[in-house]
Amino acid sequence: MGDTVTSTTYTAKGKPFERDMDYISDRILAGERSADPDDRGPQDVQVWPVEPGRYRLVAAKACPWANRAIIVRNLLGLEDVISWGAPGPTHDQRSWTFDLDPDGRDPVLDMTHLQEAYFNRVPDYPKGITVPAMVDVASRAVVTNDFPQITHDLFFEWREHHRPDAPDLWPADLREEMETVMKRVFTEVNNGVYRCGFAGSQEAYDDAYDRLWVAMDWLEERLTDRRYLMGDAITEADVRLFTTLARFDAVYHGHFKCNRAKLTEMPALWGYARDLFQTPGFGETIDFEQIKQHYYVVHTDVNPTGIVPQGPDPDVWLEPHGRG
Protein backbone atom coordinates (compact mmCIF):
# COMPACT_ATOMS: atom_id res chain seq x y z
CA MET A 1 0.00 0.00 0.00
CA GLY A 2 1.14 3.56 -0.44
CA ASP A 3 3.00 4.90 2.58
CA THR A 4 0.54 4.67 5.46
CA VAL A 5 -0.18 7.06 8.29
CA THR A 6 -1.39 5.17 11.35
CA SER A 7 1.06 5.75 14.19
CA THR A 8 4.71 6.51 14.83
CA THR A 9 5.48 2.79 15.06
CA TYR A 10 6.34 0.96 11.85
CA THR A 11 7.88 -2.19 13.26
CA ALA A 12 6.21 -4.99 15.25
CA LYS A 13 8.62 -6.58 17.71
CA GLY A 14 9.46 -10.16 16.82
CA LYS A 15 7.49 -10.08 13.57
CA PRO A 16 8.26 -9.63 9.87
CA PHE A 17 6.77 -6.62 8.09
CA GLU A 18 3.55 -7.34 6.21
CA ARG A 19 2.07 -4.71 3.92
CA ASP A 20 -1.67 -4.10 4.09
CA MET A 21 -2.93 -4.46 0.51
CA ASP A 22 -6.59 -3.61 1.12
CA TYR A 23 -7.77 -0.55 -0.80
CA ILE A 24 -10.69 1.59 -1.82
CA SER A 25 -10.72 -0.16 -5.18
CA ASP A 26 -13.24 1.76 -7.30
CA ARG A 27 -12.25 2.11 -10.95
CA ILE A 28 -12.22 5.12 -13.29
CA LEU A 29 -13.09 3.54 -16.64
CA ALA A 30 -13.68 4.76 -20.18
CA GLY A 31 -16.70 2.44 -20.52
CA GLU A 32 -18.80 0.10 -18.43
CA ARG A 33 -15.95 -2.41 -18.24
CA SER A 34 -12.17 -2.24 -18.44
CA ALA A 35 -10.57 -1.34 -21.77
CA ASP A 36 -7.81 -3.86 -20.99
CA PRO A 37 -8.72 -7.23 -22.54
CA ASP A 38 -6.45 -8.98 -20.03
CA ASP A 39 -7.69 -7.05 -17.00
CA ARG A 40 -7.08 -8.84 -13.70
CA GLY A 41 -8.07 -6.00 -11.42
CA PRO A 42 -11.09 -5.75 -9.11
CA GLN A 43 -14.36 -6.26 -10.99
CA ASP A 44 -17.30 -5.87 -8.59
CA VAL A 45 -16.60 -2.24 -7.68
CA GLN A 46 -18.14 1.14 -8.33
CA VAL A 47 -17.19 2.55 -11.73
CA TRP A 48 -16.50 6.24 -12.27
CA PRO A 49 -16.34 7.83 -15.76
CA VAL A 50 -13.20 9.08 -17.44
CA GLU A 51 -13.74 12.83 -17.52
CA PRO A 52 -10.98 15.44 -18.02
CA GLY A 53 -10.74 17.88 -15.12
CA ARG A 54 -12.92 15.82 -12.80
CA TYR A 55 -10.20 14.16 -10.71
CA ARG A 56 -7.15 15.25 -8.76
CA LEU A 57 -4.22 12.92 -8.26
CA VAL A 58 -2.91 13.45 -4.73
CA ALA A 59 0.61 12.08 -4.73
CA ALA A 60 3.59 13.04 -2.57
CA LYS A 61 6.97 13.17 -4.30
CA ALA A 62 8.50 11.54 -1.24
CA CYS A 63 6.51 8.30 -1.54
CA PRO A 64 7.69 5.65 -4.04
CA TRP A 65 4.18 4.28 -4.61
CA ALA A 66 2.83 7.77 -5.34
CA ASN A 67 5.91 8.63 -7.41
CA ARG A 68 4.85 5.90 -9.89
CA ALA A 69 1.58 7.69 -10.62
CA ILE A 70 3.31 11.05 -11.08
CA ILE A 71 5.71 9.53 -13.61
CA VAL A 72 2.99 7.71 -15.58
CA ARG A 73 0.88 10.88 -15.69
CA ASN A 74 3.90 12.69 -17.14
CA LEU A 75 4.83 9.99 -19.66
CA LEU A 76 1.27 9.80 -21.02
CA GLY A 77 0.82 13.56 -21.23
CA LEU A 78 -2.11 13.73 -18.82
CA GLU A 79 -0.94 16.84 -16.96
CA ASP A 80 -3.78 19.03 -18.31
CA VAL A 81 -6.38 16.27 -17.93
CA ILE A 82 -5.81 15.15 -14.34
CA SER A 83 -4.59 17.77 -11.88
CA TRP A 84 -1.94 16.97 -9.29
CA GLY A 85 -1.91 17.81 -5.61
CA ALA A 86 1.42 17.38 -3.85
CA PRO A 87 1.52 16.84 -0.08
CA GLY A 88 4.73 17.63 1.73
CA PRO A 89 7.28 14.96 2.69
CA THR A 90 6.29 14.59 6.33
CA HIS A 91 2.90 14.13 7.94
CA ASP A 92 1.23 14.28 11.31
CA GLN A 93 -0.80 11.65 13.16
CA ARG A 94 -3.87 12.43 11.05
CA SER A 95 -2.48 12.16 7.56
CA TRP A 96 -0.43 13.60 4.75
CA THR A 97 -0.64 17.40 4.83
CA PHE A 98 -0.56 20.06 2.12
CA ASP A 99 2.11 22.09 3.86
CA LEU A 100 3.86 22.96 0.57
CA ASP A 101 0.83 25.00 -0.54
CA PRO A 102 0.00 28.57 0.55
CA ASP A 103 -1.64 28.54 3.99
CA GLY A 104 -1.13 24.76 4.06
CA ARG A 105 -4.27 24.12 1.98
CA ASP A 106 -4.59 22.29 -1.31
CA PRO A 107 -5.76 25.03 -3.72
CA VAL A 108 -8.22 22.75 -5.58
CA LEU A 109 -9.58 20.53 -2.81
CA ASP A 110 -9.45 23.27 -0.14
CA MET A 111 -8.24 20.96 2.61
CA THR A 112 -5.22 20.83 4.90
CA HIS A 113 -5.14 17.05 5.37
CA LEU A 114 -5.70 14.27 2.85
CA GLN A 115 -7.66 12.55 5.63
CA GLU A 116 -10.56 14.89 4.84
CA ALA A 117 -10.96 13.32 1.38
CA TYR A 118 -11.01 9.84 2.91
CA PHE A 119 -13.59 10.87 5.53
CA ASN A 120 -15.72 12.46 2.79
CA ARG A 121 -15.84 9.01 1.19
CA VAL A 122 -15.95 6.80 4.31
CA PRO A 123 -16.76 8.62 7.58
CA ASP A 124 -14.17 7.72 10.22
CA TYR A 125 -12.21 5.74 7.62
CA PRO A 126 -10.44 3.15 9.81
CA LYS A 127 -7.33 2.37 7.76
CA GLY A 128 -4.16 4.23 6.89
CA ILE A 129 -4.42 7.42 4.85
CA THR A 130 -2.31 6.60 1.80
CA VAL A 131 -0.95 8.16 -1.36
CA PRO A 132 -1.47 8.07 -4.26
CA ALA A 133 -5.18 8.82 -4.13
CA MET A 134 -7.50 9.80 -6.96
CA VAL A 135 -9.98 12.33 -5.59
CA ASP A 136 -13.25 13.46 -7.16
CA VAL A 137 -12.92 17.25 -7.09
CA ALA A 138 -16.66 18.05 -6.88
CA SER A 139 -17.37 15.83 -3.87
CA ARG A 140 -13.82 16.18 -2.45
CA ALA A 141 -13.93 12.42 -1.80
CA VAL A 142 -11.41 9.69 -2.55
CA VAL A 143 -12.32 7.50 -5.51
CA THR A 144 -9.46 5.00 -5.19
CA ASN A 145 -6.11 4.57 -3.47
CA ASP A 146 -5.26 1.28 -5.22
CA PHE A 147 -1.80 2.32 -6.43
CA PRO A 148 -1.03 -0.46 -8.97
CA GLN A 149 -4.54 -0.12 -10.43
CA ILE A 150 -4.23 3.67 -10.70
CA THR A 151 -1.25 3.52 -13.07
CA HIS A 152 -2.76 0.60 -15.02
CA ASP A 153 -5.95 2.59 -15.59
CA LEU A 154 -4.13 5.79 -16.50
CA PHE A 155 -2.75 3.84 -19.44
CA PHE A 156 -5.75 1.76 -20.56
CA GLU A 157 -8.70 4.00 -19.67
CA TRP A 158 -7.40 7.48 -20.47
CA ARG A 159 -5.98 6.60 -23.91
CA GLU A 160 -8.18 9.11 -25.72
CA HIS A 161 -6.35 11.83 -23.80
CA HIS A 162 -2.76 10.56 -24.11
CA ARG A 163 -0.19 12.61 -25.99
CA PRO A 164 0.29 11.35 -29.58
CA ASP A 165 3.79 9.99 -28.88
CA ALA A 166 2.95 8.41 -25.50
CA PRO A 167 4.89 5.19 -24.85
CA ASP A 168 3.19 1.80 -24.89
CA LEU A 169 3.65 0.99 -21.22
CA TRP A 170 1.74 -2.31 -21.47
CA PRO A 171 2.84 -3.98 -24.76
CA ALA A 172 0.49 -6.87 -25.53
CA ASP A 173 3.20 -9.17 -26.86
CA LEU A 174 5.20 -8.87 -23.62
CA ARG A 175 2.28 -8.84 -21.21
CA GLU A 176 2.66 -12.29 -19.66
CA GLU A 177 6.39 -11.96 -19.07
CA MET A 178 6.01 -8.36 -17.85
CA GLU A 179 3.41 -9.37 -15.26
CA THR A 180 5.84 -12.00 -13.94
CA VAL A 181 8.70 -9.49 -13.81
CA MET A 182 6.56 -6.86 -12.07
CA LYS A 183 5.34 -9.35 -9.49
CA ARG A 184 8.91 -10.31 -8.58
CA VAL A 185 10.04 -6.68 -8.53
CA PHE A 186 7.18 -5.73 -6.22
CA THR A 187 7.51 -8.67 -3.86
CA GLU A 188 11.29 -8.81 -3.56
CA VAL A 189 12.46 -5.25 -4.27
CA ASN A 190 9.74 -2.55 -3.98
CA ASN A 191 8.35 -4.19 -0.85
CA GLY A 192 11.56 -6.06 -0.03
CA VAL A 193 13.35 -2.92 1.14
CA TYR A 194 10.46 -2.25 3.54
CA ARG A 195 10.62 -5.82 4.83
CA CYS A 196 14.27 -5.15 5.67
CA GLY A 197 13.67 -1.74 7.21
CA PHE A 198 10.60 -2.63 9.24
CA ALA A 199 11.66 -6.13 10.31
CA GLY A 200 10.81 -6.78 13.95
CA SER A 201 13.45 -9.45 14.53
CA GLN A 202 16.93 -10.39 13.36
CA GLU A 203 15.52 -13.50 11.70
CA ALA A 204 12.92 -11.51 9.77
CA TYR A 205 15.55 -9.00 8.69
CA ASP A 206 18.03 -11.67 7.59
CA ASP A 207 15.38 -13.39 5.48
CA ALA A 208 14.26 -10.12 3.89
CA TYR A 209 17.86 -9.04 3.22
CA ASP A 210 18.75 -12.33 1.54
CA ARG A 211 15.63 -12.25 -0.65
CA LEU A 212 16.26 -8.63 -1.64
CA TRP A 213 19.81 -9.28 -2.80
CA VAL A 214 18.89 -12.42 -4.75
CA ALA A 215 16.46 -10.21 -6.67
CA MET A 216 18.95 -7.35 -7.05
CA ASP A 217 21.50 -9.76 -8.52
CA TRP A 218 18.84 -11.09 -10.90
CA LEU A 219 18.07 -7.53 -12.04
CA GLU A 220 21.77 -6.72 -12.45
CA GLU A 221 22.15 -9.74 -14.72
CA ARG A 222 18.94 -9.02 -16.64
CA LEU A 223 19.93 -5.41 -17.34
CA THR A 224 23.46 -6.27 -18.45
CA ASP A 225 22.38 -7.10 -22.00
CA ARG A 226 19.14 -5.12 -22.39
CA ARG A 227 18.45 -1.42 -21.99
CA TYR A 228 15.15 -1.74 -20.14
CA LEU A 229 13.50 -4.53 -18.16
CA MET A 230 11.45 -5.76 -21.13
CA GLY A 231 13.87 -4.93 -23.93
CA ASP A 232 14.46 -1.76 -25.92
CA ALA A 233 11.44 0.31 -24.79
CA ILE A 234 10.21 1.70 -21.48
CA THR A 235 7.24 -0.10 -19.92
CA GLU A 236 5.27 0.04 -16.67
CA ALA A 237 7.78 -2.44 -15.25
CA ASP A 238 10.53 0.19 -15.48
CA VAL A 239 8.42 2.82 -13.75
CA ARG A 240 7.78 0.43 -10.87
CA LEU A 241 11.45 -0.47 -10.40
CA PHE A 242 12.77 3.06 -10.87
CA THR A 243 11.06 4.60 -7.85
CA THR A 244 12.80 2.12 -5.55
CA LEU A 245 16.19 2.52 -7.22
CA ALA A 246 15.94 6.32 -6.97
CA ARG A 247 15.66 5.99 -3.18
CA PHE A 248 18.16 3.20 -2.71
CA ASP A 249 21.39 4.96 -1.81
CA ALA A 250 19.68 7.97 -0.20
CA VAL A 251 17.45 5.93 2.12
CA TYR A 252 17.27 2.16 1.80
CA HIS A 253 21.00 1.41 1.96
CA GLY A 254 21.41 3.00 5.41
CA HIS A 255 18.00 3.72 6.93
CA PHE A 256 16.55 0.32 5.93
CA LYS A 257 19.87 -1.57 6.36
CA CYS A 258 19.93 -2.81 2.72
CA ASN A 259 23.67 -2.35 2.78
CA ARG A 260 25.37 -5.18 0.92
CA ALA A 261 26.14 -2.71 -1.86
CA LYS A 262 25.15 0.73 -3.01
CA LEU A 263 23.28 1.18 -6.26
CA THR A 264 26.30 3.07 -7.56
CA GLU A 265 28.36 -0.13 -7.11
CA MET A 266 26.13 -2.23 -9.40
CA PRO A 267 27.17 -1.24 -12.95
CA ALA A 268 24.13 -2.37 -14.95
CA LEU A 269 21.51 -1.24 -12.42
CA TRP A 270 23.25 2.07 -11.83
CA GLY A 271 23.55 2.80 -15.55
CA TYR A 272 19.92 1.80 -16.06
CA ALA A 273 18.72 4.00 -13.19
CA ARG A 274 20.62 7.03 -14.54
CA ASP A 275 19.27 6.32 -18.03
CA LEU A 276 15.70 6.53 -16.71
CA PHE A 277 16.45 9.51 -14.45
CA GLN A 278 17.66 11.45 -17.48
CA THR A 279 14.56 10.51 -19.51
CA PRO A 280 11.83 13.22 -19.57
CA GLY A 281 9.05 12.29 -17.15
CA PHE A 282 11.29 10.58 -14.59
CA GLY A 283 14.07 12.70 -13.08
CA GLU A 284 12.00 15.83 -12.58
CA THR A 285 9.71 13.88 -10.24
CA ILE A 286 12.56 13.04 -7.87
CA ASP A 287 13.26 15.37 -4.95
CA PHE A 288 16.00 13.81 -2.83
CA GLU A 289 15.55 16.27 0.03
CA GLN A 290 11.84 15.45 0.32
CA ILE A 291 12.61 11.72 0.08
CA LYS A 292 15.14 11.87 2.91
CA GLN A 293 12.92 14.07 5.09
CA HIS A 294 10.05 11.64 4.72
CA TYR A 295 11.87 8.47 5.74
CA TYR A 296 14.27 9.83 8.35
CA VAL A 297 11.75 12.12 10.07
CA VAL A 298 8.55 10.07 9.88
CA HIS A 299 9.97 6.67 10.86
CA THR A 300 10.72 7.66 14.44
CA ASP A 301 11.07 4.07 15.69
CA VAL A 302 13.71 3.35 13.04
CA ASN A 303 15.48 6.73 13.34
CA PRO A 304 14.53 8.16 16.77
CA THR A 305 16.86 11.17 16.51
CA GLY A 306 15.08 12.46 13.42
CA ILE A 307 18.43 13.53 11.99
CA VAL A 308 18.39 13.70 8.17
CA PRO A 309 21.68 12.82 6.44
CA GLN A 310 23.23 15.35 4.09
CA GLY A 311 24.43 12.88 1.44
CA PRO A 312 24.67 11.34 -1.02
CA ASP A 313 25.49 13.86 -3.74
CA PRO A 314 22.53 13.98 -6.16
CA ASP A 315 24.68 15.28 -9.03
CA VAL A 316 25.93 11.76 -9.75
CA TRP A 317 22.52 11.05 -11.31
CA LEU A 318 23.40 13.43 -14.15
CA GLU A 319 26.60 11.65 -15.15
CA PRO A 320 26.58 9.91 -18.58
CA HIS A 321 24.92 6.50 -18.36
CA GLY A 322 26.46 4.92 -21.45
CA ARG A 323 23.33 2.96 -22.35
CA GLY A 324 21.15 2.97 -25.45
Catalytic residues: 63, 194
Distance of CA 44 to the CA centre of its chain: 25
CA separation, residue 21 to residues 15, 94, 97, 254 (Å): 18, 20, 22, 26
